[in-house]
Structure 1
Amino acid sequence: MSKKRVFFIGLMLFSLFFGAGNLIFPPLLGLESGSNFTPAMTGFLVTGVLLPFVAVLAVVTVDGGMISIGSRVHKVFGIVFAIIIYLSIGAFYAIPRAANVAFELGFQPYFTNEAGWPLILFTVLFFAVAYYICLNPKKLVDRVGQLLTPILLVALTILFVRAFFLLENVASPVTEKYTASPFVTGFIEGYFTMDAVAALAFGIVVINAFKDSGVKTKREQIKGSVLAGIIAVVGLAAVYICLGWIGAVMPQAEQFANGAEILTAASFLLFGNTGSLLFSVIVILACFTTCVGLINASASFFHGLYSKVSYKTYVRVLTLVGFVISSLGLSAILDIAVPILVLIYPIAIVLIILSLFTPLIGKGKAMYRISVVLTLFYAIYDVLTNLGFKLDGFAQVIGFVPFFDLGLGWIAPAFVGAVVGYAIDRYTTNHKETQASEKK
């Protein structure tokens, strides 16, 4: 495996992660954290970059990927959970969301007085090109890693260099949420990117990329995946820091509601009307490459699960479903998908972390089952409150755990469950060994 090929696979992985959400989160963090930017961004990088990197490694280092990891809880759970992951971050959510965000931020501003047809035209072209690229997965690295990602990086670099020379390095005022614990707040903001779930899907894309490049042994695939992952996360960290810095030093002449408004204003401030075009290129490419990766990952997964249906058929179905759902509009997509993501994301993180420490703690059933069940309990509570159910009385009973008010109440129970489960697994194993030795 040549270093050049590993490099381009790393660029491909970077662009798969770097969607519209990743583009607009950091500038808002920079704006709101002000002089506390460094600890806030450090916290963001832990959950927004390091955790997805760990998730990719968790998938590529395990035979059977995500299904195998989930099967440590139960075989049926492993299959069902993997299917839910791929459907929720694929055709039912992230794929149509990518198309909608690309349209609303990168295309719609040029057709403000038109109704209906711009969205149809854009989504038809968007999904047609995505479909064409995904039909040949062996060309994915060439088309995404070697062509589209460099264009995206050049556009971002132009924005960053111009901003560095023209914007004054005077940090914005620190908002209340970043005053007391900027690192923790940044940590939570990175958590809400939910990239660790996408990483579980993208692991299969990375492995397939190395297989298609002629890498046969598992050891070499893992080694290549680690190197490609490092390239991707270094790129992500650098881009996040630059985007966050732009938010921190933007002039405060107007109020910004989100990161998209910050970058739109920054692009216009730095380049005038040409800046709008630059921002459109960045948004559309960021959304498009993520969409391509998700279609490819989902089609590869379902083809591996049920190979009687061809990979190309899965690509057609996923592309068509994504196109149809994208017509519902971004708000409707978020209303449907957010509760599902709130449910599965904590479980995904628990499985990732337990899998990472497998060489030290093993694969004990009790450890996985107890920690996942306790996590699921708190995740269900978060989903119900997210749907508008009033559970104040119930919250008083279970809300004693740390980080409960932040929507992270599952962390402590998951840790305790893993410790208790590990102790049970060790006792069970020792007891069986003792009985076996006595029989001898």
Structure 2
Amino acid sequence: MKRKELAAIGFMTFALFLGAGNLIFPPLMAQQAGENWLIAIAGFLLTAVGLPALTLVVLGRLSSADKLTAALPKWMDRSFWFLVLTTLGPAFVLPRAVTVAYEMGIKPFYSGNGLMIFSAVFCALTLVLALKPGKLVDYIGKVMTPALIAMLALLAISAVINPLGTPTAAIETYRQAPTVNGLIQGYMTLDAIAAVAFGWVIIQTIRNTGVKCNKAISYYTLRIALIYAFLMSLCYLAMGYLGATSSDIAPQATNGGEILTRYAAGEFGTLGQLLLATITLMACLTTTVGLTNANGEYYKNTYGVKFKISATVIMVLTAIISNVGLETIIQVSLPAILILCPISISLIISTFFIRTHSTAEQRHISISQTTVVIVATLFGSIDALNILGKLPTTVIPFAEHWLPLFSSHASWLVPVAITIFISKLCSREYKNHDSVVIS
């Protein structure tokens, strides 16, 4: 693979992850962290960038995204991918991206209700770009991403040269434990689960350049993950600095979008609002194209559905669901995402320690990996109920006492680690009894 192709795929990967949510999340956190914003951002980067990058590296090592679950029972394998791609697709993330693009990119300049028309046009444009997956690098990696980076750089450099305020005292949460809270906020971006979906796109894109050797795919995926991590870290640092210096123009802001809007207007006036609208629209478009492509690749490879048919159905559903309302979409789909995220991360972690031997010809079901998924699902469900405020109040004191990291919404981590450790001990003594072979 040529260096230009590698750089273009790396740029494309950065753009796939960079949705509007990634832009508006760090400013609010940094404003609340105040003088401790850099320490908080350091923790944020470990989970918001580190986990997705690790996921990409693991998927590249496997040389195929579907191998991540190949050692699970078939019903569990299919259920996982269906839920992940449907939730990241038309059930939640795609409609959210369309809605956010309208709210931040169009609504500030239009007083009427044009969501229905906008969603139809936006989804049609997404479909046009997604129907030519071979051109994805040209569209996103070589054209849209450089333009997006240039606009973000303009906003960030202006904030450094002409900051509109200074960091203030941190709120209590970030005064006591800025790094820990940064870690938690980074985990809650849920980009680790997005990385699982984007793995389909990135590996297929590498193959489209003519790379077929599994070792080469692993090597190039690692380098692409490093490019993504570098660019996304710079973006988060820039948005964090912008948020940390925004207390004068956006005091007590309730969301990052408000901070960005006021900052852009403060730096450039009306031109700044247009700049932010363009950044938002492009960021949402690259994300919708990538997720549509991921869904299409999955249904084509798994069920033999033609890419054009699945992509069209996904975009039609997205256009319809976008008009249901963002609050309703979140209410229905957020529980699934909160549970799927620990399952995804657990699968990634277990891949390093639990060796499987599944192939396309013969499926080896790993009892160890299956147990890891069950444990992650159980404790991830407890975390999800806690985040959503649905956990019975009588259970909370018990969970706080007996479940490590419960208050950090990661009570699944220790049980999963223990399960993997026990599996490794057992596999050394019973190497021949760790898997069941199904011909």
Q: TM-score, normalised by structure 2?
A: 0.92
Q: CA deviation at 1:40?
A: 0.8
Amino acid at match of 1:202: F
In structure 1, how many angstroms separate the alpha carbons of the residues matched to 2:45 and 2:115? 34
- The reply on whether 1:365 has 2:366 as its aligned counterpart is yes
Amino acid at match of 2:261: T
Larger CA deviation: 212-221 vs 297-306: 212-221
| CA deviation vs aligned residue, 1:71-102 (integer Å, no higher than 9, x gap) | 33433212211111111111111111100000
Counterparts of 2:395 and 2:137, CA distance in 1: 50
Aligned equivalent of 1:58: 58
- C-alpha deviations, 1:355-383, integer Å up to 9, x for none? 134579x9993432333222221222234
Say if 2:201 and 2:293, in contact at 8 Å, map to a contact too.
Answer: yes
Matched, 1:428 2:427: no
1:297 to 285, 294, 297: 294
For the 8 Å contact 2:48–2:187, the answer to whether it is kept is yes
Whole-angstrom distance in 2 between the partners of 1:63 and 1:428 = 28
Q: Residues 62-81 of structure 1: matches in 2 within 5 Å?
A: 62-65=62-65, 67-81=66-80
For the 8 Å contact 1:370–1:421, the answer to whether it is kept is no
Instruction: Answer yes or no: is 1:111 the counterpart of 2:110.
Output: yes
Deviation digits for residues 233-290 of structure 1 (CA, Å, limit 9, x no counterpart): 1000001001000111124353211111110010011001111101101111111100
Distance (whole Å) between structure 2 residues aligned to residue 139 and residue 132 of structure 1:
11
Summarize the Cα distance change of 1:431–1:93 in structure 2 as closer, same or farther, 3 Å threshold.
closer
Paired residue secondary structure (2:51): helix
Distance 1:200 1:365, change over 3 A: same
Q: 2:118 aligns to what? A: 122
Q: What is the CA–CA distance in structure 1 between the aligned matches of 2:406 and 2:350, rounded to whole Å?
A: 22
Counterparts of 1:333-348 in structure 2 under 5 Å?
333-348=329-344
Unaligned runs of 5+ in 1: 433-440
- Deviation per CA, 1:23-57, whole angstroms, max 9, x where unpaired? 01111121111121222111110111011011112
Q: In the alignment, which residue of structure 2 is the partner of 1:395?
A: 396
- Aligned residue type for 2:194: A
Is structure 2 residue 100 aligned with structure 1 residue 101?
yes
**1:319-334 alignment, distance < 5 Å:** 319-334=315-330
Cα separation, partners in 2 of 1:398 and 1:257, compared to 1, 3 Å: closer
SS at match of 1:256: coil
Aligned-pair distance for 1:417? 1.5
State the identity as a percent. 31
Quote the offset at 1:227 in angstroms. 1.4
- Over aligned residues, Cα RMSD in angstroms? 2.1
- In the TM superposition, what are the counterparts of 1:10-159 in structure 2 within 5 Å? 10-65=10-65, 67-112=66-111, 114-115=112-113, 118-159=114-155
SS in 1 for 2:430: helix
C-alpha displacement of 1:122: 1.3
Instruction: Decide which of 314, 319, 336 is 1:318's aligned counterpart.
Output: 314
Whole-Å Cα distance in 2 between the matches of residues 299 and 292 of structure 1?
11
Distance of aligned partners of 1:421 and 1:366 in 2 relative to their CA distance in 1, 3 Å threshold: farther
Alignment match, 1:436: none
Structure 2 residue 212 is matched with structure 1 residue 210: no
User: Which of 246, 251, 263 matches 1:266?
Assistant: 263
Write the deviation string for residues 158-214 of structure 1: whole angstroms up to 9, x where unpaired. Answer: 101111111167322211111111111000000011001110011111111122122
Q: Report the more deviating stretch, 251-260 or 5-14.
A: 251-260
The number of equivalent residue pairs is 426
Distance 2:138 2:352 in 1: 31
Q: Does the Cα contact within 8 Å between 1:17 and 1:198 map onto a contact in 2?
A: yes
Partner deviation per Cα, 1:393-434 (whole Å, 9 max, x = no partner): 3334444121112221111111112112222222222789xx
Change (3 A) 1:390 1:409: closer
